[in-house]
Amino acid sequence: AEDEITLLERETKEFWTKLKSIYGTEQINQTLALRDSCKESIKMLSEKWSKKLKEGDMMIDKIQEYSNEILQQSKLISENQERLTEIKSNLNQEEEQKKDLTDSIQELKEELMKEKEIISSKNKATKERVERLCKSKALFEERLGLEIRRIHNEQLQFIFRHIDHKDPDKPYVFTLSINEQGDYEVTSCTPPLDCIAEFQLKVRETNNFSAFVANIRKAFTALSYK
């Protein structure tokens, strides 16, 4: 191995000796300088392009990053637009529901006012009828031995006496009211009469209240003889 190295060194020296003898030392030095200059230029160019490539890679990465951000923003904008559309739709539905509710409330108010008017009218008619019955009190007491009392819920209580000849003070009682339809309605009867429903139906048909009271008294009198 040492002989080969020695041989290589000798051959190299001989090569440079021949080269110098042919081209001259100055030309060789210029060639070497030109070579070194080229090597330096190539090195600088290589470093410059290497830097440019790195900057290009960074620019590509940055552009890719911006592209991803733009895609994310576009997706977010699209989702927000869908959400906004949904909110608008919900608001429209709520407005429609609010309008329907307002209309329903108004209808209920109108119905309530009508009901109040009807009830007020019925109450007025009931009170007027009760007043007329009370005005007939003296006549009934005198002719039929009848006592009329106004009790709770605008009801009238009719108390007959002098029916049972064995016990003239024994009371025979029925209670009368005027129902929601404005008809006479017997709510209680003591002692009970089987014919009370028939009398009630008849007075509703004829509106002859005096005959109604007289018929009940007759029925009580008939009952006292059983």
Q: Which residue type sits at 51?
A: K
Shared domain check, 168 and 110: no
pLDDT of residue 136: 61
Q: What is the dihedral of CA 126, 127, 132, 136, to 10 degrees?
A: 100
Shared domain check, 109 and 176: no
**Residue showing tokens 């339809």:** 181
Residue 159 lies in a domain: yes
Shared domain check, 155 and 137: no
pLDDT of residue 129: 65
pLDDT of residue 36: 76
Residue 181 lies in a domain: yes
**Residue showing tokens 């108010």:** 109
SS (H, E, C) the chain: CHHHHHHHHHHHHHHHHHHHHHHCHHHHHHHHHHHHHHHHHHHHHHHHHHHHHHHHHHHHHHHHHHHHHHHHHHHHHHHHHHHHHHHHHHHHHHHHHHHHHHHHHHHHHHHHHHHHHHHHHHHHHHHHHHHHHHHCHHHHHHHHCEEEEEEHHHEEEEEECCCCCCCCCCCEEEEEEECCCCCEEEEEEECCCCCHHHHHHHHHHHCCHHHHHHHHHHHHHHHHCC
Shared domain check, 219 and 154: yes
Sheet holding 172-178, edge to edge: 146-151, 155-160, 172-178, 184-190
Domain count, the chain: 2
Shared domain check, 133 and 87: yes
As a whole number of angstroms, the distance between CA 180 and CA 222 comes to: 32
pLDDT of residue 71: 82
Shared domain check, 178 and 131: no
pLDDT of residue 171: 95
Could you read off the pLDDT of 96-154 as tens digits, one per residue?
888 888 888 888 888 877 877 766 666 676 677 667 666 666 666 666 678 989 998 88
Shared domain check, 137 and 161: no
Neighbours of 199 (CB within 10 A): 22
Write out residues in the chain with pLDDT < 70, as ranges: 1-2, 23-32, 34-35, 38, 118-123, 125-126, 129-130, 132-144
Q: Which residue type sits at 161?
A: R
As a whole number of angstroms, the distance between CA 115 and CA 112 comes to: 5
Shared domain check, 220 and 171: yes
Domain limits for position 88: 78-143
Shared domain check, 212 and 154: yes
**Residue showing tokens 């009238």:** 156
170's tokens: 């024994």
